[in-house]
Structure 1
Amino acid sequence: MKIMSNEQLVAAYRDAEKQGSNQDWIQMLKKELTSRGLRPFRKS
């Protein structure tokens, strides 16, 4: 995986979820998000 900023990582995860992309890609992005302590969606 190429190096991404936090904002790029969150945007990539949101796009992958929205498009229903490859589940392996989504899981890898989610794992990276949690390792960085990020949440892809804001709490309402």
Structure 2
Amino acid sequence: MLANPDTGIVVVYFSVLENTGDPDPDPKFQGPLVKMMAELAAEV
């Protein structure tokens, strides 16, 4: 969940990912996802 109090926009992403035993999420997936969520929350 990402919330922008300036715009009043909240972006929520919910997914079930396969657990491969690696404790760290894939940065190639998580980084762009968070960037996209921040861009959406910044829109007015």
TM-score (norm 2): 0.41
Larger Rg: 2
Greater share of residues in helix: 1
- Larger relative contact order (C-alpha < 8 A, sep ≥ 6)? 2
TM-score (norm 1): 0.41
Greater share of residues in strand: 2
